[in-house]
Structure 1
């Protein structure tokens, strides 16, 4: 357990830029970062949590619609049907990459928080008329604004505009907000550790999204529901 693994031999294949999809994701974030961010402080991101939480929870309707067997997860076949219904033009390879990238528990089925991450990645990677058409099919105009806020939040943290957030960038973002309070370093470290799942010192947009769903409590929905089902 004590061995430090590099990017090329990380046991969590979903967390490294090894697929075309993840490489595209990093490039897309670099492009967005070059335009700057409207967000000026980490506190302003926190203030948006309730609105983002409400918008993301509204995705539950879409999720349940495509979870045809109602088992609480969207499998590969259901995901392909979902893309067809939303008229999102992804290749078979891109759909496979998305599924592997977002099925973080490797249980061959995406739970609700994983599905939210997938939708946000689709939003980021498909900036074309077809994708915009698909977004209107979702019937949730607020969703686009929410995803845009999440992209903007990541861009704010990515100070050197390389498509990743490093530990030092996270510390800088927190310090800018808290004016150097003694606890700010600890807060930054905690937030960063929650994002850096593969412990390689760099956070990509997907890792950021998974952490964000936990911060606003989305990851707890399934836990609550499973707990109720087991009572």
Structure 2
């Protein structure tokens, strides 16, 4: 693939968010990006996979608690009750937006990996005291650190701090890690394609999270038995 790999990069300087929720996500990310990232390389993100994986799998109990009919998915009404229980103050519109954003298969139910993405977005978007209390009510002290690591990883990749990761930013991040390896461009492209769900050439935080659940193998724990062999 051609194209110049630049540090400042994206040819489209002002990427327009498609939804109000995405705009909030991007804004929150830009704010975080201004604080910088503790990550030093793409490898340092990969090294954290096992710990993140373990922490995210511990969310299964919460997921099951809110999946009241135990059908393996949280529907719209269950999600509303979930927010009520956690006393997170979201408006009806915000809940709808979050549900639509995270129900990536559009099957009107949130699977476990979609629920993890939702929790992480709630973490990113709600930094007021009430939300902090809700997080502690979930009873998962490790989860906050895990979400913070994911935010940090995204900020590391977002070199120009615009709230999105572009293809050339991904290539740049992986080139830093695998300097001189001929395959590094291919690896970067593959990773980027795995992240860019809507194929618009830019990756927002939500898309990054979905790719992440896939990378650590959470994207369909329930289907593992049927598939036999887990995708790497």
TM over 0.5: yes
> Which residue of 2 is the match for residue 124 of structure 1?
124
Report how far residue 180 of structure 1 moved. Answer: 2.7
Q: Which residue of structure 2 aligns with residue 184 of structure 1?
A: 184
Question: Which aligned runs of 4 or more in structure 1 are off by greater than 6 angstroms?
Answer: none
Match of residue 86 from structure 1: 86
More helix per residue: 1 or 2? 1
Contact 2:102 2:110 (8 Å CA) reproduced: yes
Aligned pairs for 1:1-231 within 5 A: 17-225=17-225
Unaligned runs of 5+ in 2: 1-15
**Match of 1:200, SS?**
coil
Q: Partners in 2 of 1:226 and 1:136 — Cα distance?
A: 35
C-alpha root-mean-square deviation of aligned residues, in Å? 1.2
CA contact (8 A) 2:29 2:155 kept: yes
Could you tell me how far apart the structure 1 residues matched to 2:227 and 2:157 are? 35
Find the residue that maps to 1:22 and give its secondary structure: helix
| Between 195-204 and 219-228, the greater mean CA deviation after superposition | 219-228
For normalisation by structure 2, the TM-score amounts to: 0.90
Per-residue CA deviations over 1:68-127 (Å, capped at 9, x if unaligned) read 000000000000000011111100000000000000111100000000000000000001
- For residues 220 and 108 of structure 1, do their structure 2 counterparts lie closer, same or farther at Cα, with a shift above 3 Å needed? closer
Return the alpha-carbon distance in structure 2 between the equivalents of residues 121 and 206 of structure 1.
Answer: 7
Output one character per residue of 1:159-191: Cα deviation in whole Å (capped at 9) or x when no partner: 000000000000000011111310111100000
Q: For residues 61 and 17 of structure 2, what CA distance do their matches in structure 1 show?
A: 31
